[in-house]
Amino acid sequence: MSIRQVKNKEATKDGRSWLVDLTYRDYLGKIKRYHSKKFATRREAKDHEAEYKTQIKNMTDFSDLTFKELIDEHYKYQQDKVKSTTLYNYKNMMVYLEPLLNIKLETFNIRHYEMWRQYMNTKDISTRYKNGVYKYLKAIMNFGTKWYDLNFIKVYNKMTNFTNPNERKKEMLFYTPTEFQKFLSVEHDLKYICAFQILFYCGLRAGELRGLTWKDINFNRSNLSVNKNITKVADQSTGKPYTVSTPKTMSSYRIIPIPNFLLNDLEQLYNQCSSYYNFNDNWYVIGDVNPLSDYALRDRKTKNAFKAGVKDIRVHDFRHSCASLLIDNGANITLVAKYLGHSKIDETLNTYSHMYQNRLENIVQIIENQNDKLLENKNNVYTEPEATIINYEDLEFEDEEDDEIEEKKEDDFVL
C-alpha cells in the first residue's frame, strides 16, 4: 500500500500524519522511491498519490512523444559522444525531417514514411544525401527503441532507401601531373605552393592540410604526420570559427613521406615563418597561429585555375588527383589505401575502381604474352641434351641459411 499513516510521535505538530510512500522504475529501469510530505487526511494523501502517479506515467510512458521531441532527445544524447562535425551534420539534416516533426510516435506508420519519401523526392539533392538523411532517421528510431521502448518494427522492416537509376553519377575530376604543373606555375606565394603540393602529392584532406603544424613536419626523416583535422564548425569554448578535431577515422592517423622537392619548399617556408615574432612549432604550416581559412584556400584555387587556363576542380579533387597519380603508375592498392588513410581497401576500390580500367589492357597483354610463350615452346622440337659428367670430388658445398622476413605490425607501418 503506497498510502500510510505514521505514528503519533512522527506526525507534525498540527496533526498531519498521512503520506504517500511508493516505489517505481524510471525510464532507465532503475528503482526509485518517493516519500511525500504529510497530509491531514487520508483523502488528501490519496489525491496526491493519483497526481504523482500521473507524473510518473508521463515520465516513463513515451508513446505520446512526437518525432520532434525524439529528435531533440537524440541530439542531446549524442552531444558528448560524437564529433562536432557530426552534430553539425545532424542539424543540417533535421531540416529534411520537417514533415515528420508533429507526428506522434505511437501513430507513426508506413504511410507516414512514404509521405516523407515523396517529400524528399521533391528536393533538389543527390540520392546519396537523401540516403544520408534516411540513415539519420533510422538512427533516431533505433535510439527511441533502445532508450524509450518504442516499437517501430512494423515500419522499420518496410523502409527502403532511395534509388534513382536515371541519376548520372558525378564525374570525378582530377588534375594530371601536366595540368597540375600548369596550375602551379601561376602561383608565386610559397605558402600556397606548399599547400597545393601537399594536397596533390600527399593526398591529404583539406581539414588535414589545415591542421598541419610545424611539429608534424619531420625534416630529418622527410615525412609528415597526420594527427588532427580542422573543421568548419565554430568552437563555442574559444569563440574561434573553427574546431580542432581528431582525424576522420583511426586509419586517417598516418605518416606520409615527403618528396625532396616539396621538402625543400617546406624548409624555405619554415625559414620565412620562423622570422616572425612569437613563432613556434605549434604554428600552422598553412597559416600562422591560426590555420588558413577554408574559404581562402578555395578562393586561391579558383583564381589559379582561371589564370592557368585549366579546369576548376574542388579542393577535395586534389586528393583524387593524388590517387590517380599513384594508380596510374602501378601503385599497390593496399599502399594507396594506407597512403590516403582509408579504413578499408574496399573504400579505395569502390572510389577509384574506374581508374583501374586503363590498366586492364596491360593485364590482357600479360596473358597474351604468356600464351605466345607457351605456343612457342610447344612448336620447338625437343632434343635430348648431352649427358654431363660431374666429378663430385671437385665440388665445394657451402651451408645455406634461409633469409628471415620480419613482418611489421600494421600500427608501425610508415609510408
Q: What is the pLDDT of residues 322-343, one digit of tens each?
A: 998 998 888 888 899 999 998 8
Q: Which candidate, 145, 133, 121, places its Cα nearest to that of 97?
A: 133
Alpha-carbon distance of 202 to 259, in angstroms, equals 9
Identify the residue whose cell numbers are 575530376. 173
Angle of the 317-328 helix axis to the 190-202 helix axis, nearest 10: 50
> What tens digit of pLDDT does each residue of 3-39 get?
888 888 788 888 888 888 888 766 555 677 888 888 8
pLDDT at 361: 60
Residue 101, classed as helix, strand or coil, is coil
Please return the burial class of 180, using the count of CB atoms within 10 Å of its CB with bins 0-12, 13-18 and 19+. Answer: buried
pLDDT at 347: 79
Pairing of strands 217-218, 223-226: antiparallel
- What is the reported pLDDT for 28? 52
Tell me, what's the pLDDT at 314? 94
Dig out the grid coordinates for 75 from the structure: 541530439
User: Which portions of the chain are predicted below pLDDT 70?
Assistant: 1, 25-30, 56-63, 169-170, 353-366, 378-415
Segments making up each domain of the chain, as ranges: 3-60, 67-156, 177-353
177-353 has which fold? hpI Integrase; Chain A (1.10.443)
pLDDT at position 52, please? 78
Question: What is the C-alpha separation between 91 and 71, in angstroms, rounded?
Answer: 10
Q: What is the DSSP string of 134-149?
A: HHHHHHHHHHHHHHH-
Residues 127 and 150: their CA atoms lie apart, in Å, by 29
